[in-house]
């Protein structure tokens, strides 16, 4: 009996040590990542501000011009919108796939493909965030060496909305990175099956 109890204890401890992350944890993290990236996409895609500025002065008469700042004018922000839009679509598809997982014939393939797609989206989202963050810093502070003027002192609302989109996107990227790590852990750590007692029945002669 002592041998059997010790064996059951070892099996139980091995099961809990190799237990993969819960499905609901990944599900909630993926939903949070989706909400963050889709918010970043919408905010940046709708980011636009029009202002009338004084561009020159002739004598005592100022000459004004109406200028519009929008995300389409910057390729980095366009890439940011595309990257976050694709990341949002990926998360949405993965969320929908959770409801149909029991209908999939090859669940092993399903568990392998998801981490690969997650890693691809992490790379895409991080590239978009990096490019947009560089242009945001340039718009806020300018570059005196290249003689590029800052614009955030003139288009404050535009820069604030862009900054908010960046923050939301970085949050979504961080959550997606956590989801990717947990998906890999879930793939490589399988619960140990219970051993057949007939093969370890030491009480028999």
pLDDT reported for residue 12? 45
pLDDT reported for residue 68? 83
Which one is predicted more confidently, 106 or 45? 45
Burial of residue 159, with CB atoms counted within 10 A of its CB: 0-12 exposed, 13-18 middle, 19 or more buried: buried
pLDDT reported for residue 18? 41
Tokens 């190799």, residue? Answer: 18
Q: Is the pLDDT of residue 199 over 60?
A: no
User: How many CB atoms sit inside 10 A of residue 7's CB?
Assistant: 15
pLDDT reported for residue 153? 83
Which one is predicted more confidently, 164 or 66? 164
pLDDT reported for residue 145? 80
The rounded distance, in Å, linking the Cα atoms of 147 and 133 is 19
pLDDT reported for residue 114? 81
pLDDT in tens, 66-103: 878 888 888 999 999 999 999 999 999 888 887 776 66
Which one is predicted more confidently, 44 or 22? 44
pLDDT in tens, 105-124: 555 666 677 888 889 999 99
Which one is predicted more confidently, 170 or 97? 170
Handedness of CA 100, 170, 81, 41 (dihedral sign): positive
Q: Is the pLDDT of residue 202 over 50?
A: no
pLDDT in tens, 126-154: 999 999 999 988 888 888 787 788 888 88
Which one is predicted more confidently, 142 or 43? 43
pLDDT in tens, 11-34: 444 443 444 445 788 889 999 999
pLDDT reported for residue 16? 38
The rounded distance, in Å, linking the Cα atoms of 107 and 90 is 19
pLDDT reported for residue 95? 85
The model's pTM: 0.74
């Amino acid at each position: 009996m002592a041998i059997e109890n010790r064996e059951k204890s070892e099996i139980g401890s091995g099961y809990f040590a190799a237990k993969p992350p819960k499905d609901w944890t990944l599900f909630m993290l993926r939903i949070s990542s989706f909400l963050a990236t889709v918010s970043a996409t919408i905010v940046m895609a709708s980011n636009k501000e029009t202002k009338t500025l004084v561009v020159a002065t002739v004598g005592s008469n100022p000459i004004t011009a109406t200028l519009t700042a929008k995300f389409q004018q910057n390729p980095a922000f366009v890439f940011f919108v595309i990257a976050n839009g694709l990341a949002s679509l990926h998360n949405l598809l993965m969320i929908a796939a959770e409801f149909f997982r029991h209908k999939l014939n090859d669940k092993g393939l399903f568990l392998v493909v998801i981490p690969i797609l997650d890693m691809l989206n992490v790379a895409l989202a991080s590239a978009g965030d990096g490019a947009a963050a560089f242009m945001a810093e340039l718009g806020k502070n300018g570059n005196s060496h290249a003689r590029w003027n800052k614009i955030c002192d003139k288009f404050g609302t535009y820069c604030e909305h862009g900054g908010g989109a960046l923050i939301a996107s970085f949050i979504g990227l961080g959550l997606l990175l956590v989801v990717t790590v947990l998906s890999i852990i879930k793939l490589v750590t399988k619960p140990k099956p219970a051993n057949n007692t007939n093969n370890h029945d030491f009480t028999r002669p």
